């Protein structure tokens, strides 16, 4: 796990370390990154590395957590912008994810999905950390108008389903090279199935 000695560093040094580490993970999958890579990119001594982290995986999940924090803030803004409309929020969230692929952090996510074990572990991490916050916040702030559910548990299942659809379509861009507009259209079709049903 990330050690207190890292969190106690001056903000400027923490940012320098995380920026250097992001550069590494944007070019290499986790299973190819070494402590030497991190040390060289961040400019810290090898001994300092072990004062801050136990291993490379600690650094990876630190970076992923930072990226997710940005996304959580974005989600909160979308909830306000779309007045709690869960479907419009989902579409806008995915569109922002597509735009995110134009930034440096996108390669981090591509590398994450290219390593299946990492992707699986990361999805669990997502559910336990950001995912739980996402679901709880959505339950509190979504507009229930035109939604049919009998309990909060059913609403949680709906939100989890929407999260999985977003993750699936992000993966289609990262792995299958599906074009942005096609992925957005695929997402809207899937949401339409949920919103409108498929039976005549």
Residues 46 and 74 in one domain: no
The percentage of the chain sitting over the pLDDT mark of 70, rounded to a whole number, equals 82
Mean pLDDT computed over 54-79: 86
Model confidence band, residue 63 (pLDDT cutoffs 50, 70, 90): confident
Mean pLDDT computed over 125-143: 62
Q: Which of 56, 72, 88 is the last residue of a domain?
A: 56
Q: Which of 29, 56, 83 is the last residue of a domain?
A: 56
Total structural domains in the chain? 2
Residue 52, pLDDT above cutoff 90: yes
Model confidence band, residue 116 (pLDDT cutoffs 50, 70, 90): very low
Residues 142 and 164 in one domain: yes
What is the per-residue pLDDT across 153-163, written as a single tens digit (0 to 9) for each? 888 889 889 98
Residue 66, pLDDT above cutoff 70: yes
Question: Can you spell out the DSSP letters for the chain?
Answer: ---HHHHTS-HHHHHHHHHHHHHHHTTS-GGG--HHHHHHHHT--HHHHHHH-SSHHHHHHHHHHHHHHHHHHHHHHHHHHTTT-HHHHHHHHHHHHHHHTTSTHHHHHHHHHHSHHHHHHHHHHHIIIIIHHHHHHHHHHS--TT---SSHHHHHHHHHHHHHHHHHHHHHHHHH---HHHHHHHHHHHHHHHHH-S--
Give φ, ψ of 115 to 5 degrees. -110, 100
Residues 90 and 48 in one domain: no
Residues 185 and 132 in one domain: yes
Residue 151, pLDDT above cutoff 60: yes
Predicted structure pTM score: 0.67
Q: Which residue has the higher pLDDT, 114 or 89?
A: 89
Mean pLDDT computed over 117-134: 49
Q: Could you list the residue range(s) of the whole structural domain that residue 111 is in?
A: 64-196
Residue 126, pLDDT above cutoff 80: no
Residues 77 and 174 in one domain: yes
Radius of gyration of the chain (CA): 19
Residues 129 and 107 in one domain: yes
Residue 25, pLDDT above cutoff 80: yes
Residues 69 and 127 in one domain: yes
Q: What is the pLDDT of residue 28?
A: 84
Mean pLDDT computed over 45-50: 96
- Per the listing, tokens 């000695």 go with 5
């Amino acid at each position: 796990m990330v050690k207190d000695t890292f969190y106690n560093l001056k903000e400027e040094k923490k940012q320098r370390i995380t920026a250097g580490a992001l550069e590494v993970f944007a070019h290499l999958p986790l299973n190819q990154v070494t402590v030497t890579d991190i040390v060289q990119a961040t400019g810290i001594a090898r001994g300092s590395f072990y004062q801050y982290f136990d291993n490379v995986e600690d650094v990876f999940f630190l970076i992923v957590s930072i990226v997710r924090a940005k996304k959580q803030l974005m989600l909160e803004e979308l909830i306000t912008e779309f007045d709690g409309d869960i479907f419009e929020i989902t579409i806008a969230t995915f569109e922002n994810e597509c735009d995110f692929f134009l930034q440096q952090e996108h390669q981090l996510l591509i590398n994450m999905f290219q390593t299946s074990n990492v992707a699986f572990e990361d999805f669990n991490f997502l559910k336990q950390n950001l995912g739980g916050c996402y679901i709880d916040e959505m339950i509190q702030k979504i507009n229930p108008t035109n939604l049919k559910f009998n309990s909060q548990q059913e609403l949680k299942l709906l939100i989890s389903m929407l999260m999985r659809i977003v993750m699936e379509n992000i993966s289609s861009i990262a792995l299958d090279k599906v074009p942005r507009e096609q992925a957005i259209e695929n997402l809207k079709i899937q949401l339409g199935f949920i919103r409108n049903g498929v039976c005549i």
